[in-house]
Structure formats: C-alpha cells, structure tokens
Amino acid sequence: MRIAPAIRLSPEQRTVLESQARSRSVSVRVAERARIVLFAASGQQDLEIAARMAITPKKVSRWRWACRGCRKTRPGPDANPRSVPA
C-alpha cells in the first residue's frame, strides 16, 4: 500500500482551517476541504480520511495534493477576462 505524503501546516494555516471547518457561514465544500487537510496534517492516510468522512479516497487525495502545492489550480473567472470594460 502506498503511503500518502505528509502535510505540514503553519500555526496560522491550522487556525484558519480549523475556523473554516467549524464555521456555519462558509460553504459546505470549503468546510469539507478544511477537514480533509486537517486530518491529512494529523498524519491520517487517504483511506482512513475517506472512511471517516464518507467520501471517496480520490477526493481526499486531490485535496492533499492541492494543499501541498503539487497540483496547479485552474484560474478563476477573472484570470482571463474576455472583454475589458470601458
């Protein structure tokens, strides 16, 4: 079995993620991603996190890699505007 790479968080990053994971005002997606990253940073493997959160291991892996900066994220809608306002 392959072991997932470790994630290290600064105290500031951990504080922000913990706040997002508990928040009722952020979207469900943001809270879920925050919990995935926090579990990964605590040393849990993708299969353990997936079972605990009732999501797919692929989703856990995707966010582990995105958090580590190994995966390029797609630019947002404002990255390449199709027209420039006058």
Q: What is the DSSP letter of 44?
A: -
Which pTM does this prediction carry?
0.73
Q: What is the pLDDT of residues 17-42, one digit of tens each?
A: 999 999 999 999 999 999 999 999 99
The answer to whether residue 63 sits within a structural domain is yes
CB atoms within 10 A of CB 67: 20
Identify the domain containing residue 48 by its residue range: 11-68
CA angle 49–37–33, rounded 5-degree value: 90
Contact in structure between 38 and 17 (CB atoms under 8 Å): yes
Q: Give a yes or no: residue 77 inside a domain.
A: no
The answer to the question of residue 42 being in a domain is yes
74 is a domain residue: no
Count the domains in the chain. Answer: 1
pLDDT above 70 as % of the chain: 77
